[in-house]
Amino acid sequence: MCAVEVSNSSGVKRKADNHGEKHDKKRPVPPWALGLKSSMEDPALRVEDDDKVVIIKDKYPKARQHYLILPKEDIRNLKSLNAEHIPLLKHMQKKGQELADKSPQCQFRLGYHGIPSMSQVHLHVISQDFDSPCLKTKKHWNSFTSEYFIDSSDVIKQLEEKGSVTVDTGKFEGYLKQALKCHVCKKDFKTMPALKSHILQHAPKKTS
């Protein structure tokens, strides 16, 4: 069955065929999970774009600097990736590194959530200060500081070696339940307020 490429008014591309349409009907995406698609079109969030990707500010940032890089091609999640997407992911990583290089005083990580809540693959570019009022729960914390957060280079490596990305759902859900631990000094904490107060000592001073 031949695939056809279509795009919506925002320029987001998707590939569809009869088999793919049937699969989507069996596993519909809930409306709230499509929020990133509308965010890609929001001028208040958009940072830049090119022919392959759109870069936006995270609407609910979990650090002082938190960006999302989204492909214009419709790709639901990591499991939807294959070897043909390697050039795209390398381009996304390059754009993410360019963002990080603009703030040399900060440390950044570039990566993906193993089981993202939102549909459409997106690369997080997030500073490691985690100084944000939107960072509230253990789930938030562990989603960025445990193995639940997969480095961009590791995703690309899996595609290069296997042609696909493997995510063990049970294992990844377990990462979100891990005890609270400082990502720098590895000290344990019982509550999020205590952890958030502690990690400020590791964060660079804010510039006016």
Catalytic residue among 66, 85, 122, 124: 122
Q: Which amino acid is at 113?
A: H
| Active-site residue flag, 122 | yes
For 171, residues 6+ apart whose C-beta sits below 8 A from its C-beta are: none
Structural contact between residues 52 and 123, judged by C-beta atoms closer than 8 angstroms: no
Phi, psi (degrees; rounded to nearest 5) at 144: -115, -15
How many residues appear in the chain? 208
List of long-range contacts for 7-10, beta carbons under 8 Å, 24+ apart? 7/72, 10/37, 10/40, 10/41
DSSP 26: H
Provide the annotated active-site residues.
122
